[in-house]
Amino acid sequence: MAADAYVLGTEPPERERLRLQHEVWLPLAQAAWERAQLAPGQRVLDLGAGPGFCSVELARAVGAKGRVLALEHSDTYVDHARAAAAAANLAQLEVRRHDLAGDGPFDWGREAGSFDLAWSRWLAMFLPRLEPFLALVGEGLRPGGRFVAHEYMHWDTFALHPYGEAVDRFGRAVRASFREAGGDEDVNRRLPALLVSRGFRIDDLRPLPVLGRGGDGWSQWMERFVSLYGEELIRQGRWSEADAEEAVAEMAAARSDPGSYWVGPTVLELRATRVGT
């Protein structure tokens, strides 16, 4: 895979979308980290870190005596995450380029089996192969270390109710495009069983439904995705200018209609422990 082959791209509008997405999802991520007993001084892996939004938060949470190792495939995002670490003066955050779906071995140095927590969010859904990623999680965590993932388990809940017909067509086109790129948007249907087969214990499975109304943060997150990824779907021939115009009208109507609401694709929070010695 080319270094910037992330299906949603790394251009400024996508980075801005990721930032907005991070803002609305951060409290849920922090609650998940708390459930996984994240604490100062710990060692954390952030896998598929993007421009480093979670990496920075994790580095603040573990403090100067802790360590965060962020792995990311895109050179552009690696540069952004490094710049964010430097700007926030977080020497405990290291960002490295690595393809989590590739066969290349990861150079752990002396750090194999030393991490307390591995975190990933909206990464596994883009991986054409999950084995290298799961193997790396198993290699990195110490016995008793935890893996926490926020990945979708039911993309089909994505909708603008009650009248978002163009948005509904958009959702179906998105799913098809993710699949064609080798991903699985509902990957968290499979991750728990795959972890069990690798000797992990599943500690918690928790759906995280989200609902947006009246132009709130959740609505903006979903609107932004329709606008931005709609352009890519038009390029792919799965969606048309007319579809996009119809969706814009539906979204504008929904913003001022107190009876209308968005439902996000359902994320499953997965928390597992690496057992053994």
Ligand X SMILES: C[S@@+](CC[C@H](N)C(=O)[O-])C[C@H]1O[C@@H](n2cnc3c(N)ncnc32)[C@H](O)[C@@H]1O
Question: 10: number of CA atoms within 13 Å, CB side?
Answer: 19
Give the shortest CB-133-to-ligand X separation in angstroms. 8
Q: How far is the CB of 14 from ligand X (least distance, A)?
A: 9
Q: What is the DSSP secondary structure assignment for residue 126, as one 8-state letter?
A: G
- Which position's Cβ is nearest ligand X? 50
**Which two three-digit tokens encode residue 133?**
């990623």
Site track 7-26 with ligand X (rule: CB under 6 A), x = hit: -----------x---x----
Total number of residues that touch ligand X (CB under 6 A): 20
* Beta carbon of residue 23, minimum distance to ligand X (angstroms, whole number): 10
The residue written with tokens 């965060």 in the block is 68
Question: Of 31-60, which residues contact ligand X (CB under 6 A)?
Answer: 48-50, 53-54
User: Minimum Å distance from CB 31 to ligand X?
Assistant: 15
In whole angstroms, what separates CA 32 from the centre of its chain?
13
Rounded CA separation 211/144 (Å) = 35
Site for ligand X in 204-223 (CB under 6 A): none
**Residues constituting the chain:** 277
For residue 15, the number of C-alpha atoms closer than 13 Å in the C-beta half-sphere is 14
Torsion sign over Cα 225, 230, 232, 233 = positive
Distance, CA of 225 to CA of 72 (rounded, Å): 22
Considering beta carbons, is residue 128 or 276 the nearer one to ligand X?
128
Interacting positions 57-116 with ligand X (CB under 6 A): 72-74, 77, 99-101
Binding mask 238-257 for ligand X (x = CB under 6 A): --------------------
What binding mask, one character per residue, do residues 117-136 give for ligand X by CB under 6 A, x or -?
----xxx--xx---------
Q: C-beta of 70: minimal distance to ligand X in Å?
A: 9
Q: Rounded to whole angstroms, how far apart are CA atoms 266 and 158?
A: 8
**Measured from the CB atom, is 223 or 243 closer to ligand X?**
223
Nearer to ligand X, 5 or 39 (CB): 5
Asked if 54 and 121 count as a contact pair (C-beta separation under 8 A), the reply is yes
State the nearest-atom distance from the C-beta of 33 to ligand X, in Å. 13
Alpha-carbon span 126 to 68, nearest angstrom = 22
Nearer to ligand X, 58 or 251 (CB): 58
Residues in Cβ contact with 250 at an 8 Å cutoff, skipping those fewer than 6 apart: 160, 163, 164, 165, 166, 167
Interface residues with ligand X (CB under 6 A)? Answer: 6, 18, 22, 48-50, 53-54, 72-74, 77, 99-101, 121-123, 126-127
